[in-house]
Chains A and B, each alone.
Chain A
């Protein structure tokens, strides 16, 4: 599938094929409909931002891609969600395998209560890698990729809680990278961080987008404009179900929104 060929913020995504595809996806929590009929293609090796007012279902939408909504009793997805053309809600899909390919970074940095090294080695260990030398290599590589190695190479055995908030979040990104996913989902990864730590994460995201498909939920529109190649604007309808209002290249959506509601939102008239 081809994504519109236009120049975005700082990346050309014209040749990028769709990595994730949703077709008329609806999400229910029991009888409450949280998302309605969302159809979009997320291009590979690019950053796609999901923006919208609080409560419109941005995070719920993100969690559809690694099936984290499965953890919520009564959650149900309708429509089709595809990764490389494979329906990830098909019966034969192994959710554990799926989550190896689709990593997730959360709003609040959530390092495990163990050392920096063990945090990064956690995923590889669970997937059967126990050779110390091999683990050391993976940990160093992942921490370098997360732009954290130089800051923590002397305190790998210290508790991850000794790191600053921004370092903890980059550690969580390293922890995801250690599993070698193809896609990284980020759920407002900077909302608990100060502006400098935020810029570091944004730089990191731009670098990672060379190799990874990144989907980020953010309530910060400047952030979406700065980092993303594609942007999706979600909004609540009257019954509180989230719908996709507009989706396109970030440069387009922010400079020339097609929908009046998008324009109102990005110019700060509501939300």
Chain B
């Protein structure tokens, strides 16, 4: 056995370290640049009026209030529709489904569902919710479409959070005569709660950032007033950003950055919320 590693081995060790460090810095630098650029260029546009007033002159003036409200409605709708089904399906798949090839195929299919391009969900929503079920181009159709997309994520995260609950807890509960459902309800679900919530919040923030699917099922560039019912059309931040950035000639650059900054803030704040939920749960467990 050699006590000292040779010079060539030490060199390759250093080279590997440098490569890993460089890759990390590159990723962080690009992300930071994007955030800083948007923050600096967009900050000037942000004002109380910009956040609370409807747009005028095709979005060149006025604010983006209806788009902010529309995005929150969409997130809420997605959450209400996707979370219960996602959790229930996750419980079935982790606790009840027989461990056979069919279950494996279903799990694989759900994971792949997350990789389906979002515009495909949009077309699905257009065909099923807008036309077949006759919901029209509406907040409801868009929420349902985004919920379908979010389901893949909420099912997968719920299932994984449930499976991560140690076997010892399940056995301890079953061994004193608790039923399977009592064990799920009183031991497994409380333990998996933070993982489930984290997944749901992340799925919501993703729904908030989607523009392609809602484009074909009900998002509008300009709507007079806020949606009054689930069957109304609506504005949403990502679609608004797309139109102000690419569709309206003579749009002031600062307005584009301003919209981008608001959208980024909404999405990031939800990601931060998910992190807080996870950290608090971890602290509680110790």
Contact = CB atoms under 8 A, between A and B. Distances in A.
Interface in B164-195: 166, 168-169, 171-179, 182, 186-187, 190-191
A123 B178 contact: yes
Given A73-B99, A106-B168, A110-B168, A123 B174 contact: no
Interface string A101-121: 001101010111100000000
A122 B178 contact: yes
A17 interface: no
A110 B187 CA distance: 12
B282 interface: no
B2 interface: no
Interface string B245-277: 000000000000000000000000000000000
Nearest to B99: A73
Contacts of A175: 172, 176
B285 interface: yes
Interface in A129-183: 161, 172, 175-176, 178-179
A122 B173 contact: yes
Contact of A103 (B169, B176, B190): B176
Task: Bin the interface of chain B by size.
Answer: 20 to 34
Interface stretch (A5-13, A92-100, A226-234, A263-271): A92-100
Interface in B189-233: 190-191
A126 interface: yes
A258 interface: no
A44 interface: no
A122 B176 contact: yes
Contact of B172 (A66, A106, A127, A161): A106
Nearest to A118: B186
Given A113-B285, A126-B186, A100 B176 contact: yes
Contacts of B173: 112, 122, 126
A112 B99 contact: no
A249 to B, nearest CB: 29
B29 to A, nearest CB: 41
A210 interface: no
A66 B175 contact: yes
Task: Bin the interface of chain A by size.
Answer: 20 to 34
Which interface residue of B166, B168, B187 has the most chain A CB atoms within 10 A? Answer: B168
A71 B183 CA distance: 13
A68 interface: yes
B174 A68 contact: yes
Contacts of A103: 175-176
Contacts of B178: 96, 122-123, 126
A123 B169 contact: no
B179 A68 contact: no
B239 to A, nearest CB: 44
A106 B187 CA distance: 17
A113 B171 contact: no
Contacts of B174: 68, 71, 99
Contacts of B169: 110, 112-113
Contacts of B168: 106, 108, 110
Contact of B182 (A66, A100, A126): A126
Interface string A61-96: 000001010010100000000000000000000001
Contact of A127 (B98, B171, B177, B186): B177
A127 B191 CA distance: 21
15 contacts: A68-B171, A68-B175, A71-B174, A99-B175, A103-B175, A103-B176, A106-B175, A110-B168, A112-B169, A113-B191, A113-B285, A123-B178, A126-B173, A126-B186, A127-B177
Given A73-B98, A112-B169, A122-B173, 5 more contacts: A66-B175, A96-B179, A123-B177, A126-B177, A175-B176
Which 5 residue pairs spanning A and B have beta carbons closest together?
Answer: A100-B177, A110-B168, A104-B175, A123-B176, A99-B177
